[in-house]
Amino acid sequence: MSDSLPSTCDVVIIGGGVMGTSIAYHLARRAAGRIVLLEKEQFFGQGATGACAGGIRHQFSTEVNIRLSTISIQMLERFPEEMEQEIDLNFCGYLFLLSSEQDVVTFRRNVELQHRLGIETEWLDRDEIARRAPWLDLDAEPAIIAGTNYHRDGLADPHSVVQGFVKQARRLGVGLYTDTPVTAILCRGEKVVGVETPRGRISAPVVVLAAGPWSAPIAATAGIDLPVQPLRRQIVVTRPLGMPRDMPFLIDFAQSLYFHYESGGILTGMSNHNETPGEKLDVDHAWTMVHLEHAMARMPLLEQAELLTEWAGLYEVTPDHQPIIGPLPVEGLYACTGFSGHGFMQGPVCGLLIAEDILDGGAHTVDIGELRYDRFLEHRLAPEKNVV
């Protein structure tokens, strides 16, 4: 971090997680002028990105998310070579566990869509699930009746992805500043003119808001009601249990309960659907007990496990569980936020799309028309249903 901020630049990016760093890199790669990236924490990627489970998947219910993940995961495959950064990519598969006939019907529609888009998701019966995941009790309530898996879903390391983008953005001349929160987006009439920080003001004709769960209050300083709410989610990690690295990422869909390999142990989380919005980063120990009770019922070997660590992070949730990508109703102001739990896996391509929006007058690698902010004004929502 430099000692002083520049007083002017061409683009300011607010937020130094996977979205902000990807945007900075892709703009710099296109020679978009003087670019400044501002992160409120001491290090890049410490916010929502740093707290996420690291999953990457193609198995979604909407075409736009399948297309975003398809391209983004291809970019992650090339990451070690193109970005000179290893990211611990592990194509272990995502195995969705289904326990209701209604979910089976919904997932059949999802799989048909995925197949049409070239994603060869497979259906699994109980016997095949038991073979691939022998650690599970499929009869624990709610009993599992079927599942889906795609072998090119899996895991990557969020910290390494962020650091790869930061390293390349720095090489391309991006101004990278930590410990620098944005307190206001500055406008003159209907145009953005810069940002205010505790360390000074930066004048810029373009500002990109990529602050994840903290986006709405910042947008409000520009007079924009951004429908993004922070929701606490928690993760527990055990000490090593001898788990194989190719263990699939397991999702008990009806319970929003998941498990994946973590350094020989298990990382597990479970969404609390009664959680109230707020920037709550403390661990709710009462919820930890509820989570672990369900986790041990589904995966009994956890009864023998020692807990290594646990933490809380924030989802950035929109009413339709879809992100907001592109221009906001102030000239020069753009958003890339609201990913509702699946942002990390789509960060690489979304940085590219924002660069296209700014420099080409519109994103074209993927049609993201349905992810624009104006969908809320026009009441045309197409919700993503495959959210954990």
Hey, what are 285's tokens? 């120990």
Per-domain boundaries in the chain: 11-51+158-228+320-377, 94-150+229-317
State the Cα torsion 347-349-354-359 to the nearest 10°.
150
Distance, in Å, from the CA atom of 66 to the CA atom of 259, rounded to the nearest integer, reads: 22
Distance, in Å, from the CA atom of 12 to the CA atom of 194, rounded to the nearest integer, reads: 8
Q: How many angstroms separate the first and last alpha carbons of the chain?
A: 36
Which CATH fold would you assign to the domain 94-150+229-317? D-Amino Acid Oxidase; Chain A, domain 2 (3.30.9)
Taking only the tens of pLDDT, the chain with its 388 residues reads 446 899 999 999 999 999 999 999 999 999 999 999 999 999 999 999 999 999 999 999 999 999 999 999 999 999 999 999 999 999 999 999 999 999 999 999 999 999 999 999 999 999 999 999 999 999 999 999 999 999 999 999 999 999 999 999 999 999 999 999 999 999 999 999 999 999 999 999 999 999 999 999 999 999 999 999 999 999 999 999 999 999 999 999 999 999 999 999 999 999 999 999 999 999 999 999 999 999 999 999 999 999 999 999 999 999 999 999 999 999 999 999 999 999 999 999 999 999 999 999 999 999 999 999 999 999 888 899 989 9
H or E element: which one contains 50? helix 48-51
- Are residues 254 and 98 in contact, defined by beta-carbon separation less than 8 angstroms? yes
Distance, in Å, from the CA atom of 20 to the CA atom of 39, rounded to the nearest integer, reads: 9
Q: Could you tell me which CATH number the domain at 11-51+158-228+320-377 has?
A: 3.50.50.60
| Its pTM surpasses 0.85 | yes
Within a 13 Å sphere around the CA of 157, how many CA atoms are in the beta-carbon half? Answer: 14
pLDDT computed for residue 1 by the predictor: 44
- Are residues 209 and 38 in contact, defined by beta-carbon separation less than 8 angstroms? no
Hey, what are 26's tokens? 């892709």
